[in-house]
Amino acid sequence: MMKYMKAGTSFLMLLLMSVCLGTLVSCGEDDNANNAANGASGSTSKLVGTWYGSNGIFYVFKADGTGYFKDDDPREDFDYIYNENKAVLKLYFDGDTKPEVYTVISLTDSRLVWEDESGDVETFTKGNVPAGGGSEDKPNSSVSKLLGVWECFEEDEIFRYQFNADGTGAMEEHTYIYGFTYDYDEQKSRIYIYYDDGDTDILIVVRLTDTVLVLREGGEYITTYTKKSGSVNPAPEAFSLIGTWKWTYDTGYTVITFKADGTGTIRDVDYKEGADTESFTYIYDSQSGVIYMTFGDETEVCTVVKAESTSTKLVIYDGDEYMTFVKTN
């Protein structure tokens, strides 16, 4: 009796083990599909890359199973799992344990169609090769014309953008310089700026040639920039202050003379209030573009905003206003 009971028990245990083994194999296949889709096993999934949707939004899927979503607000990072067998994509935003689930209706090399949990269907197109040399982070295509320094000079104020090939750049405004990274979508004519302080901006490219860049900024302002050599810097090192400079304003003019020995004079002539002349000593830091002018016991700090060694124009910002001087000798 005991022998037959053992035999029956062994048969039952074998049956249960075979069922469990089949379940484990099935689960393993799903995990392998997920890992392959995420690139963990060296797979180059069609999902990996940058996908553009409506209204300028886009998703970036990296081969390591991470990515981010971007619209007009700061980008949102996520982790993702894509099961190609079941056509199910799960996005875990900012470490959330509950994912956003999408059913992938169609996925080709250039087109992605999915349905969200509410039943809404959205179509995406794949971005082109980025400027940074193949990184999935930068959905740029050909940006050779965009690269470099672009300058706008209006009403004695200077504005500059610098776009580098590695997806970094800088913006100079009122003598302040802000670093950023950027994405350039040539097809949509948009530059997405991500500033180092967390702010974002979208510039619409109205026109781009080898020498002219026309941008729509802030949704309404159209500004024309021209290509310049060098980099974003308040003043080129080759520039020399030495000489006499004249600034003409509505009710008079100011003449400043910088001498080679570090001294100088400033003469202000107001047609209504008369004239005044003062002497000073100065130190010019060409690296930062700052002039330290000392009048007796007081030192005034000014910034050279625009200065070119081959030109006769000098723009100085004294903290209150921009003054455009023309060289007289």
Interval 236-270: pLDDT, tens:
445 678 899 999 998 999 999 999 888 999 999 99
At residue 60, the 3 state secondary structure works out as strand
pLDDT > 80? residue 28? no
pLDDT band for 20, please (50, 70, 90 cuts): very low
Name residue, tokens 């999408």: 102
Which range has the top average pLDDT, 131-135, 155-159, 273-277?
A: 273-277
In the chain, where the domains are located: 49-126, 148-228, 243-327
104: CB partners within 8 A, 6+ apart: 82, 87, 88, 89, 112, 113, 114
97 φ, ψ (degrees, to nearest 5):
-85, -20
SS3 for 159-203, per residue? EEEEECCCCEEEEEECCEEEEEEEEEECCCCEEEEEECCCCEEEE
| Range 173-187 average pLDDT | 78
Q: What is the pLDDT of residue 42?
A: 33
The residue with greater pLDDT, 315 or 31, is 315
pLDDT band for 8, please (50, 70, 90 cuts): very low
The H helix count followed by the E strand count for the chain is 1, 24
Residues in the chain, how many?
329
Interval 287-308: pLDDT, tens:
667 788 999 888 888 877 666 5
Give pTM, 2 decimals.
0.36
pLDDT band for 319, please (50, 70, 90 cuts): confident
Question: What architecture (CATH level 2) is domain 148-228?
Answer: Beta Barrel (2.40)
Q: Are strands 252-258 and 243-249 parallel, antiparallel or unpaired?
A: antiparallel
The residue with greater pLDDT, 219 or 84, is 84
Computed on alpha carbons and rounded to an integer, the radius of gyration of the chain in Å comes to 32
Q: What is the pLDDT of residue 114?
A: 93
Q: What is the pLDDT of residue 221?
A: 73
What is the DSSP secondary structure assignment for residue 65, as one 8-state letter? S
pLDDT > 90? residue 281? yes
| Range 84-102 average pLDDT | 89
User: For residue 263, what are its two tokens?
Assistant: 């001294």
User: For residue 90, what are its two tokens?
Assistant: 């799960």
CA end-to-end span of the chain, whole Å? 122
At residue 62, the 3 state secondary structure works out as coil
Identify the CATH number of the domain defined by range 49-126.
2.40.128.270
Report how far residue 180's alpha carbon sits from residue 283's, in angstroms, rounded to the nearest whole number: 31
For residue 90, the tally of other CB atoms under 10 A from its CB is 16
Q: Residue 113 forms beta bridges with which residues?
A: 106, 123
**For all residues of the chain together, what is the average pLDDT?**
75
The residue with greater pLDDT, 1 or 219, is 219
Fold of 243-327: Lipocalin (2.40.128)
Report how far residue 119's alpha carbon sits from residue 101's, in angstroms, rounded to the nearest whole number: 11
Largest CA distance in the chain: 128
* Residue of 240, 206, 235 lying closest to 220 (CA atoms): 206
Buried-state track 95-117, b at ≥16 Cβ within 10 A, e below 16: eeeebeebebeebeeeebebeee
Interval 106-115: pLDDT, tens:
888 888 889 9
